[in-house]
Amino acid sequence: MADHNELGKLGEKLAAELLRAKGYTILEQNYFYDKAEIDIIAQKDTLMVCVEVKTRNSDFFGDPQSFVTPSKIKHLVKAMNFYLEENNIELETRFDIIAVLKNKSVQQVMHYEDAFYFF
């Protein structure tokens, strides 16, 4: 497996651990619909949360969360809507980003709630 794939998987693992520590229940990981993949679908109390995980080994080109494009957001919203309908879920939904910066000297995991309001 390519190094960037391994880094991405590690980032998703760290993100899931953070969410569990905060009291979220992980319902799905790597959920695919049409052209979109939702990294993590979680629930906390009566709130559904769609989580995009962005992992980088350097912030030289910008923060990991800055790489979530409007097109990516559109696909995530479409996929999450399908997931909710498919599973007959009628709960409030929020879209978060977990940005992971991981290299030999740094491991930083930042959780941005309601992240798409930043764009």
pLDDT band at 78 (very low <50, low <70, confident <90, very high): very high
58: pLDDT strictly greater than 80: no
Give pLDDT tens digits for 8-20: 798 999 999 999 9
For the chain, what is the domain count? Answer: 1
Residue 108 predicted with pLDDT over 80: yes
- pLDDT tens digit sequence for 18-36: 999 999 999 999 999 998 9
Distance CA 82, CA 108 (A): 32
Of the candidates 24, 69, 64, which has an alpha carbon nearest to the alpha carbon of residue 45? 24
Confidence of residue 64 (pLDDT cuts 50, 70, 90): low
Residue with the bigger pLDDT between 87 and 101: it is 87
The Cβ of residue 42 has, within 10 Å, a number of other Cβ atoms equal to 23
- pLDDT of 2 reads 53
Structure tokens at 111: 């959780």
Task: Kindly state the average pLDDT of the residues 83-108.
Answer: 91
Q: What is the CATH number of the domain that holds 36?
A: 3.40.1350.10
Task: Give the β-pairing of 92-102 and 47-56.
Answer: parallel
Residue 79's pLDDT band, with cuts at 50, 70 and 90, is very high
Tokens describing residue 46? 């009566």
- Residue 60: the pLDDT is 54
Range of the structural domain that residue 97 is part of: 3-118
Quote the pLDDT of residue 119: 39
